[in-house]
Amino acid sequence: MINEAKVNEICMRNNLTKLSISKYPTWVDKNRQEGMHLEAGKIESFWIKDGEKVYSEAPGLHIENIMKEIMKEDGNDEKNTETHDKKDEQTGTKAETKQPEKEDRAIALLPDILTPVLISKWETMRTVDRMLMFQKTPKDQIFERKAGKDENGKNVVVSYVKGNYMIKEANAAFLFDWRFIHQGLSISDVAVCVYGTLEANVDGKTMSRPAVGYEEINKKMTAQLAIKSATTDAIKKGLSLFGFNSDVYGGEV
């Protein structure tokens, strides 16, 4: 049986990213176009199209070479690798490719662009169900920054998700039917505070959350840039109160 730790080591060495919230151990390439997962000791490759995993096509050269490297280092032969042209030994017909459960799809595979095909699929879901897809955050979308010092003088580091990624999540969850209503702005010599309300259509009902953002002014951050950054921060705060990336903003990571 293939060892997950060894697979992870090889994948990391070949610039694949491990997804943190898939049902099975899963790795994808940097463009999130192709990947593989480990299930019951077997490696299976897939392509990512319109935010979903497609198992019916042969792997690309990069993924294929990684799979061969895994098999070589693990000391097993090709029988532990799921192939897409494999035939049933008794019937001689092509075996049906197993599809993962719906919960294993799309959650961490947010595409850069929402296509009409993907939107039409997500329209069949409840808004709440789409929102739930973004409670947990892929590890490659979690960043860290310094947030001052504690009472002992040690640096405090906090985790965060970039604003553009959270906005993409909101567009996917609400299918663009959401808005930030700016209600006020406070500027001092050292910081900018933006406050307003985040509204969204959730299954036919308009729901809102308070949204307050803050940004310091310094040599690198002019007042105009600080206003823009504080507005993004306010949107992120509002989305976090809707439950987006709750693992990060709830202190779980």
Q: What is the DSSP letter of 140?
A: G
Helix (H), strand (E) counts: the chain: 7, 10
Residue 235 has pLDDT above 50, yes or no: yes
CA distances from 55 to 101, 169, 194, 241 (A): 13, 25, 46, 36
60-64, 118-122, 230-234 — most confident range = 230-234
Other beta carbons within 10 angstroms of residue 66's beta carbon come to: 24
Q: Which tokens hold the place of 103?
A: 């919960």
Per-residue pLDDT of 134-172, as tens digits, reads: 988 888 888 988 877 778 888 888 999 999 999 999 999
CA distances from 85 to 59, 70, 82, 92, 137 (A): 11, 20, 9, 11, 34
Alpha carbons 14 and 242: distance in angstroms, whole number? 36
Per-residue pLDDT of 3-31, as tens digits, reads: 888 888 899 889 888 886 567 888 888 87
pTM comes to 0.62
> Is the dihedral angle over the CA atoms 90, 93, 94, 95 positive or is it negative?
negative
Q: What is the DSSP letter of 205?
A: E
Structural domains for the chain: 4-90 (no CATH), 122-249 (3.30.390.80)
- What kind and span of H or E run contains 148? strand 143-149
